[in-house]
Structure formats: C-alpha cells, structure tokens
C-alpha cells in the first residue's frame, strides 16, 4: 500500500539537537492531526526526557484545571 503525504516532509537544517528535532516533528504531527480533525492520537517518542517533560506538563495542567 502506497502512502501519499498531504504535503512534503519539512527538513529543518537549523535544528541540530536530536530532542529539539523530535519535539518539532511531534508538534508538527499534532498540528496536522488537528487540521484534519483527528480525535485521538497516539504519540511515541524516543527521548525519555521529552516523555517525562510532557507527562509533567500534563500533570501540572490537570492539577491547575482541578485546583485552580
């Protein structure tokens, strides 16, 4: 099965840090998902520190929502 991408893959030569490249790609994927009205998204990352940072930000957001 051949996959057709809606637009070209964007290469960012200014991003030299692997974690920055990964989070940039993740952000772009989430923006595309939102543009096409995807309701559920499963995200997998290679960087443990990024996963921890995202989970911590989510915990803070949830705490603020329920306690704020």
pLDDT band at 66 (very low <50, low <70, confident <90, very high): low
Q: Which two tokens stand for residue 33?
A: 């998902």
Listed in sequence order, the residues at least 6 apart from 56 whose beta carbon sits closer than 8 Å to its beta carbon are none
Q: What is the pLDDT of residue 36?
A: 92
Q: What is the pLDDT of residue 7?
A: 61
Q: Which residue has better confidence, 65 or 18?
A: 18
Cα distance between residue 34 and residue 46, in whole Å: 22
DSSP H helical segments within 1-68, as ranges? 18-35, 48-67
pLDDT digits (tens, 9 = 90+) for 1-48: 565 656 655 666 677 788 888 888 888 888 899 999 999 988 888 889
Q: What is the pLDDT of residue 59?
A: 75
Q: Which two tokens stand for residue 16?
A: 């030299």
> Which residue's structure tokens are 């991408």?
5
């Amino acid at each position: 099965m051949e996959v057709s991408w809606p637009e070209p893959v964007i290469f960012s030569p200014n991003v030299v840090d692997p974690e920055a490249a990964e989070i940039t790609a993740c952000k772009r994927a989430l923006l595309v998902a939102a543009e096409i009205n995807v309701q559920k998204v499963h995200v997998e990352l290679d960087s443990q520190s990024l996963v921890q940072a995202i989970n911590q930000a989510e915990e803070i957001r949830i705490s603020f929502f329920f306690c704020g």
